[in-house]
Amino acid sequence: MKIEEYLRSRAAEVDAALVELIGEYRPKVEPKLLEAMEYSLVSPGKRIRPILVLAAAEAVGAEARPLLPFACAAEMVHAYSLVHDDLPAMDDDDLRRGRPTNHKVFGEGIAILAGDGLLTEAFAVMSRDRAAPPVERRLAAIRELAAAAGAEGMVGGQTADVLAEGRAADLPEVESIHRRKTGALLRACVRIGALLGGADAASLERLSRYGETIGLAFQVADDLLDEIGDTRATGKQAQRDRARGKATVPALLGVERARGLLRELRARSLADLDGFGPNADPLRGIARTVVDRAL
């Protein structure tokens, strides 16, 4: 299967699972809250994080479909982080994935609550009775997601980002922000898929490295698309980061050296998958796709 086809079919599976999940809440949750949660969760998106969960499980020989709830949980954490990051007190963005941001539609209070709800329900979904994998693995997956999303991960990265705004951050600082703000969750998605799929220690180690590499590549590619001003590809206002004086890797390295770094990251992430057979082809395809869209 070609990677484009794989990504499309997996994204459709994830989308269907997300719609079903929201539907289950419908009778029990404050309608306005659920509407706001749904608005940001079931919005246009590539679903790269949930797909990484599924593809990593496949890479270690496990069946992907039973892990859909965990894939959804990863997307819920991602969606929550976007809703909160966009708030006026944070990045103050009006546009996200080509649509008005959550607080523009629902107001700040409901947007904060929708984010809180998405974050909390991610853990609810992962700890549900009927989720399939053995309890030890599920607990490990929860541990991964909490660590990636928490104070040492996404929340810490966003804090550093907020605090760095308006002053000149250098490359190590920018990379440290990226590693926590974006990289940690992408890496966690790969690890969650691997852990739930029953990876042995050596495979988990290699896949973690792959996840880390892909995490950095993803952010550099995103910033590069922003830098060269492709609003259509990113769904955000172009050069928004630059306009507010936010340091990015391409802004610090220049476009050409950033492209060089991306090629290197692509090679490294493929090398991390060397010991794996054709089961890891989706992960290989993802590495190529993430990088190539910005070259």
> In this structure, which amino acid lies at residue 130?
R
Q: Which stretch binds a second copy (CB under 8 A): 1-9, 112-120, 265-273, 276-284?
A: 112-120
Q: How far apart are CB 290 and a second copy at their closest, in Å?
A: 26
19 binds a second copy (CB under 8 A): no
CA distance 115 to 112: 5
Considering only 7, 18, 34, 195, the residue that binds a second copy (CB under 8 A) is 34
Which residues are CB-neighbours of 23 under 8 A, at least 6 positions away? none
Q: Which stretch binds a second copy (CB under 8 A): 21-29, 40-48, 61-69, 265-273?
A: 21-29
- What x-and-dash track marks residues 141-160 binding a second copy by CB under 8 A? -xx-xxx-xxxx--xx-xxx
Q: Which stretch binds a second copy (CB under 8 A): 118-126, 205-213, 254-262, 264-272?
A: 118-126
- What x-and-dash track marks residues 36-75 binding a second copy by CB under 8 A? -x--------------------------------------
243 binds a second copy (CB under 8 A): no
Complex with a second copy: residue 156 or 235, whichever CB lies closer? 156
Per-residue burial over 95-124, b if 16 or more Cβ lie within 10 Å, else e, is ebeeeebbbbebeeebbbbbbebbbebbbe
Complex with a second copy: residue 157 or 250, whichever CB lies closer? 157
Each as own residue / partner, the long-range contacts of residues 211-214 (CB below 8 Å, 24 or more positions apart, any chain) are 211/52, 211/56, 211/186, 211/187, 212/179, 212/183, 212/187, 213/265, 213/268, 213/269, 213/272, 213/287, 214/52, 214/186, 214/187, 214/190, 214/265, 214/269, 214/286, 214/287, 214/290
CA distance 104 to 155: 22
- DSSP string covering 94-136: SEETTEE-HHHHH-HHHHHHHHHHHHHHHHHHHH-TT--S-HH
Interface of this chain with a second copy, residues 161 to 220, rule: CB under 8 A? 162-163
Across the strands, what pairs with 100?
A: 95
Considering only 55, 64, 82, 112, the residue that binds a second copy (CB under 8 A) is 112
Considering only 3, 42, 90, 132, the residue that binds a second copy (CB under 8 A) is 90
Q: How far apart are CB 86 and a second copy at their closest, in Å?
A: 11
Across the strands, what pairs with 95?
A: 100
Complex with a second copy: residue 128 or 244, whichever CB lies closer? 128
* Binding positions for a second copy, rule: CB under 8 A: 25, 28-30, 32-34, 37, 84, 87, 89-90, 107-113, 115-117, 119-121, 123-124, 127-129, 135-136, 138-140, 142-143, 145-147, 149-152, 155-156, 158-160, 162-163
